[in-house]
Amino acid sequence: MEKSDFFLFGRITKTHGYKGNVILSLDLAENFEYYQKNKALYLELENKLIPFFLVKLSVHNPNQLCLSFEDIESEQQASSIIHSNVYLPNDILPPIDEDNFYNKELIGFSIEDENSDFKGVVIDLKENSFQSLLEIRSGEKIVLVPIVDEFIVDLMQDEKKIILSLPEGLLEI
């Protein structure tokens, strides 16, 4: 089970009540109903994805779910998984039309910055609850670049190429 076979679904942010329930803040808030049929969520603990089996899932608010897992029956047990990233398998992602794509599909794309001579290749995506980042290898250097519309000039899916317009100084961070 490789992490690349999964996508970030959200992050457990706090306990809820005293019976072991937790709140999951969704990274993928839209259409979460599609994912409700899953019996397990995969929590990242000590850099490993561990399946946790759902007992109950309910809407807490539009971007959060209240979860109850098997074998987590107290607030103390629930506290041990707070701040854990939660993943689901890629193969359950709903189909999308050909003009759209999932961020993970960007791995292997070549990168060029129109404001400098920077060139590289996307080697990974760093996804967290705040922002997704492209991990780009340029020679011996690794650079992290936020995936934001303002930086993307052109994305050519057929050519597996992205043209960026990066702000001055970003590559030095």
> Are the CB atoms for 26 and 9 separated by under 8 Å?
yes
At 25 the pLDDT is: 86
Please list, in sequence order, all residues whose beta carbon lies within 8 angstroms of the beta carbon of residue 79, skipping any fewer than 6 positions away: 15
**pLDDT tens digit string along 73-111?**
999 999 999 999 998 888 887 776 666 666 667 889 999
At 92 the pLDDT is: 81
154, pLDDT greater than 90: yes
Query: 26 or 148: which carries more pLDDT confidence?
Result: 148
CA atoms in the 13 A half-sphere facing the CB of 48: 4
Q: Which domains does the chain have, with CATH numbers?
A: 3-92 (2.40.30.60), 103-167 (2.30.30.240)
Give the percent of the chain with pLDDT over 90. 52
Stretch 140-154: mean pLDDT: 91
> Are the CB atoms for 40 and 112 separated by under 8 Å?
no
Nearest to 111 by CA among 154, 168, 148, 172: 154
**Residue 39 bridge partners (DSSP):** none
